[in-house]
Amino acid sequence: APAPDIRKGLTGVVVDTTAISKVNPDTNSLLYRGYPVQELAAAKRFEEVAYLLWHGELPDAAQLAAFRAGERAGRALQPNVRTAIDLLPTTAHPMDVVRTAVSVFGASDPTADDSSPEANLAKAKALFAALPAMVAYDQRRRRGQVVVPPRDDLGYSANFLYMTFGEVPDQLVVDAFDVSMILYAEHSFNASTFTARVITSTLSDLYSAVVGAIGALKGPLHGGANEAVMHLFEEIGSAENVTPWLDGALAERRKIMGFGHRVYKSGDSRVPTMKSALDTLIAHYDRPDVAALYDALATEFVARTGIHPNLDYPSGPAYHLMGFDTPTFTPLFVASRVTGWTAHIIEQAAANALIRPLSVYDGVEERHVPVVVGR
């Protein structure tokens, strides 16, 4: 038999079709249900994009009003979820907290095991509505602040920021946050989405798939990179330090978080849109030092390695300027990507095949257990 073709990391392997998003690395383009993501970010709110990912079409005015009403009705932090969060030490990583909170939320849903498309869509929308309160409350409790109940007169992003900080920031900050939510929402068969599809393929429930996806997103090679970028900025300190710092980092063959991508090799389609959102924040908060460090590291890293920034590179400093604690960055990614994950869960369930690859055994040859007399 010919030697099996092993694709470590599943690099280049096509495992299924999807109608949710299309990534074209040759043109650096990303389409959600056919729409370029930068056009959605320029003209639509995150609620409309979430609706698009689930329903396949943008909502009309009546559909959007009904969807928004449902989202607003599901925003409050559930008492049992709050109790579960309170049981966790404030030293727990916020990704561990949100993973646990989603698990408790799911276990409290009496319809958790109904995986019909209608039930899964209802659960997806409920989680989408509930996640901001979980993330916001966790940052507040770590700062010793009391919970802020949601406000029904605010859109998704304004309310998310309000529940986190106790006040509604300037509209341009809300807009930049909304852009980040739109850009993070969906990206085909990335590691966390694939994890969700693997779990769904066993006919497990939606909440189990989302909890698994959160675990996959936590790692710094995936969503954890936005947090890691901020640590990098702190480590480097200022633009003047970039060259000597990079000399050392490249000599040590360090992986620089926020750069590189499995699919895009000549630039991440989402970076220009997020970078311009970051630029508005830099101007608003008057932080030319952040701009200088951002530009110096990006320019020099690309020149020396040919490896381009990914979405986490501009979103990390953007969330920092908005006032989020660094470990809260990846839970913000969760609040957004839950839309893409659940769209994929529903798609996987509708045309399911158990995902179960093969491996080549390279352990010791077959051997036999020594016979011990008397047993």
- Please check whether residue 143 is in contact with residue 238, taking contact to mean a CB–CB distance below 8 angstroms: no
Residue among 97 and 225 whose Cβ is closer to ligand CMC: 225
Residue among 67 and 264 whose Cβ is closer to ligand CMC: 264
Which candidate in 261, 308, 320, 344 is catalytic?
261
The answer for residues whose C-beta is within 8 angstroms of residue 158's C-beta and 6 or more apart is 168, 174
Work out whether 270 is an interface residue with ligand CMC (CB under 6 A). no
Known active-site residue 368: no
Residue 22's SS3 state is strand
Work out whether 258 is an interface residue with ligand CMC (CB under 6 A). yes
Q: How far is the CB of 235 from ligand CMC (least distance, A)?
A: 14
Query: Among all chains, which residue has been given the structure tokens 């396949």?
Result: 56
Interface pick for ligand CMC out of 132, 150, 223, 340 (rule CB under 6 A): 223
Distance from C-alpha of 257 to C-alpha of 235, rounded to nearest angstrom:
12
Interface pick for ligand CMC out of 173, 209, 216, 256 (rule CB under 6 A): 256
Structure tokens at 32: 């959600």
- Which positions from 145 through 184 interact with ligand CMC, judged by CB under 6 A? none
- Tally the residues of the chain: 375
Work out whether 231 is an interface residue with ligand CMC (CB under 6 A). no
Q: How far is the CB of 222 from ligand CMC (least distance, A)?
A: 4
Work out whether 262 is an interface residue with ligand CMC (CB under 6 A). yes
Count residues near ligand CMC (CB under 6 A): 19
Residue among 230 and 257 whose Cβ is closer to ligand CMC: 257
Residue among 40 and 334 whose Cβ is closer to ligand CMC: 334
Query: Among all chains, which residue has been given the structure tokens 């932080």?
Result: 287
Residue 354's SS3 state is coil
Q: How far is the CB of 8 from ligand CMC (least distance, A)?
A: 9
Known active-site residue 170: no
- Please check whether residue 175 is in contact with residue 277, taking contact to mean a CB–CB distance below 8 angstroms: yes
Which run of H or of E encompasses 102?
helix 94-107
Residue among 159 and 315 whose Cβ is closer to ligand CMC: 315
Interface pick for ligand CMC out of 68, 72, 218, 222 (rule CB under 6 A): 222
Say how many CA atoms lie within 13 Å of 234 toward its Cβ: 8
Work out whether 344 is an interface residue with ligand CMC (CB under 6 A). no
Residue among 250 and 283 whose Cβ is closer to ligand CMC: 250
**Residue 11 DSSP symbol:** T
Residues 302-341: x where in contact with ligand CMC by CB under 6 A, - otherwise, as a string: -----x--xxx-----------------------------
Work out whether 128 is an interface residue with ligand CMC (CB under 6 A). no
> Which amino acid is it at 359?
S
Q: How far is the CB of 12 from ligand CMC (least distance, A)?
A: 10
Distance from C-alpha of 312 to C-alpha of 300, rounded to nearest angstrom:
17
Number of CB atoms found within 10 A of residue 347's CB? 18
Residue among 133 and 246 whose Cβ is closer to ligand CMC: 246
Residue 350 gets the label, from left (phi > 0), alpha (psi -120 to 50) or beta, of alpha
Work out whether 7 is an interface residue with ligand CMC (CB under 6 A). no
The stretch among 58-66, 105-113, 158-166, 256-264 that binds ligand CMC (CB under 6 A) is 256-264
Distance from C-alpha of 315 to C-alpha of 229, rounded to nearest angstrom:
9
The answer for residues whose C-beta is within 8 angstroms of residue 90's C-beta and 6 or more apart is 141, 142
The answer for residues whose C-beta is within 8 angstroms of residue 38's C-beta and 6 or more apart is 269, 270, 272, 273
The stretch among 70-78, 125-133, 254-262, 342-350 that binds ligand CMC (CB under 6 A) is 254-262
Closest listed residue to residue 138, CA positions, set 84, 94, 75: 94
Q: Which residues bind ligand CMC (CB under 6 A)?
A: 9, 190, 220-223, 225, 255-262, 307, 310-312
Q: What residues act catalytically?
A: 261, 312
